[in-house]
Structure 1
């Protein structure tokens, strides 16, 4: 009996070690994805190799991407914190010139919107096609209908004692819950990475009926738990690591907070700027970038603090991790001054 018990313990230990090794490899792969994404935008644009260093294959990236990164950084640093705040405040109430919100207004009394001052414009709303429903509108996201397999949630269910979002998934691993006609099972839960403890990842199995068939899909649910409403989290690379987890999908990515404009607009702006820079497209006119975002989702980026955070994270990414502007003493000094200004304001 002792031998069998010892063998079971040994087998259990080996299985655990194997699982830990697998998880470490996965995290290393994800970090490599983060690095390679930014290499495409900065280091491989190309940085001149040291004499005797073998040439590395170029990442898929526009030939002028590095120049666009440097122009964006210079423009940001020349503006400074106060200049960026003024820029944002000039556009604080900007809305799309051709916006209509008929569905939003028609369904207000039915309780299908959370906030009266956060409209959903007709042009970009998702039309509900769920069988058996008598209406085609709700100001929310459709995980099953739109075939999404990644959800980024940037709020908590309750904040400062107030309801901010429904608990639409089971919180604990191995727990299952039924929501209407949909069963959701929390298969596994963990932190995003060992270094990113403020984002919680749940692997969900979502099951529903279509006719006589039961359909199932895996959905990855990422919840950023320490981002304050109308505020910003500490300046780290959390946003970039999170975005690297979902970037590879070809399906719609759902990003939401409570109203879907402040924190949501901020994280979407970060990805949009990165994609433009990697493609070699200009981004210096950040006021125009903000308008582009708001033309699709009115009031995206809710506060000047969130607008500053977008710039601060991008600068941190470029200057601290990828050493953009390393050869320019002037840029380095301006970067330090920006950081000091930002920290005072936040």
Structure 2
């Protein structure tokens, strides 16, 4: 009598909805090994070498146009022509310019639109962008005022209130705190539509309040929880300039998506690809190190017990580095 065949090996049991396949586990193992081999000192050295990288096609004529200059928050943060989002809603009489770039990275299932924190005069443009692109979410990574400086205009109404911004009607239908309020994440449900239009766009606006400018949050897990809360579809994401904190989140999300597909990640190359679409993305070495810290933390949570010591070791190394 033939002996019954042994059942096929089962993928590693993990927290979350999906099991980790051998390919995914191998990709994660490679990321852990590469990151630990470089260490914090190696990552800081790597960032020092690539922080001056500029796009292969570094053109920004729309940014420099005299009519558009008042729409730019910072003179030294350009908006690349090759990936900029061209507005068409209510054009003319409105301008087609907004300081925003469409970001697409290999392996990343969603598209990001990286933009600056709106100025008072560009709030209508921001909501035209959201509606035109049928965005499903907006991520706000800054406060309106930080260290006494204006970083972003208050571009949406208070809870259960509505307001007109230029040709756009914006209604804040609901406001709620995030996970137990511990991450200082506030989630707004916002409806936006042009005047005279019956088809509205409803977005989840995720407002993260504990991320300092050019710095990093105290708890990497708060960043991962925020990313997990972003719905599928197009996400409009901004901080103040729309490059530092904004680029950091996009890279973390892209790396995680690639790892979950079993794809190896060369973070340096992904960083350069991102900068080819959004100039100056990821501004500080602490942000570059945070990218690796968050991904290690994600892997630790996804494979309980296997990489706990590695993640803790790296976190301690980051703490001892005392990066600003």
When the two structures are superposed, what TM-score results if normalisation uses the length of structure 2?
Answer: 0.81
**Alignment partner of 1:257 out of 211, 236, 239:** 239
1:293 aligns with 2:295: no
Indicate how the Cα distance of structure 1 residues 188 and 69 shifts in structure 2: closer, same or farther if over 3 A, else same.
same
SS in 2 for 1:237: helix
CA contact (8 A) 2:12 2:20 kept: no
CA contact (8 A) 2:12 2:19 kept: no
Identify the residue that residue 88 of structure 1 maps to in structure 2: 47
Identify the residue that residue 292 of structure 2 maps to in structure 1: 311
Identify the residue that residue 261 of structure 2 maps to in structure 1: 279
Larger radius of gyration: 1
Alpha-carbon distance in 2 for matches of 1:103, 1:242: 33
**Alignment partner of 2:132 out of 137, 142, 145:** 145
Count of residues in Structure 1 that have an aligned counterpart in Structure 2:
285
Identify the residue that residue 65 of structure 1 maps to in structure 2: 24
Deviation of 1:238 after TM superposition, in Å, equals: 1.8
Identify the residue that residue 245 of structure 1 maps to in structure 2: 229
Deviation of 1:303 after TM superposition, in Å, equals: 0.3
1:233 aligns with 2:240: no
CA contact (8 A) 1:62 1:279 kept: no
CA contact (8 A) 2:167 2:195 kept: yes
Identify the residue that residue 12 of structure 1 maps to in structure 2: none
CA contact (8 A) 1:235 1:312 kept: no
**Alignment partner of 1:136 out of 83, 91, 96:** 96
Indicate how the Cα distance of structure 1 residues 48 and 312 shifts in structure 2: closer, same or farther if over 3 A, else same.
closer
Identify the residue that residue 141 of structure 2 maps to in structure 1: 154
Deviation of 1:197 after TM superposition, in Å, equals: 3.8
Identify the residue that residue 266 of structure 1 maps to in structure 2: 248
Deviations 1:279-328 (A, max 9, x none): 11111x221121111111111111000011111111122225633635xx
User: Which stretch shifts more, 173-182 or 222-231?
Assistant: 173-182
- Structure with the larger helix share: 1
User: Which stretch shifts more, 219-228 or 196-205?
Assistant: 196-205
Identify the residue that residue 118 of structure 2 maps to in structure 1: none
Identify the residue that residue 34 of structure 1 maps to in structure 2: none
Identify the residue that residue 342 of structure 1 maps to in structure 2: 318
Aligned-residue CA RMSD in angstroms? 2.5
User: Which stretch shifts more, 106-115 or 300-309?
Assistant: 106-115
Indicate how the Cα distance of structure 1 residues 204 and 306 shifts in structure 2: closer, same or farther if over 3 A, else same.
same
SS in 2 for 1:89: helix
SS in 2 for 1:123: coil
**Alignment partner of 1:203 out of 189, 201, 212:** 189
Indicate how the Cα distance of structure 1 residues 46 and 124 shifts in structure 2: closer, same or farther if over 3 A, else same.
same
Deviation of 1:234 after TM superposition, in Å, equals: 1.1
Q: Structure 2 unaligned segments of length 5 or more: list them.
A: 1-8, 101-125
Deviation of 1:231 after TM superposition, in Å, equals: 0.2
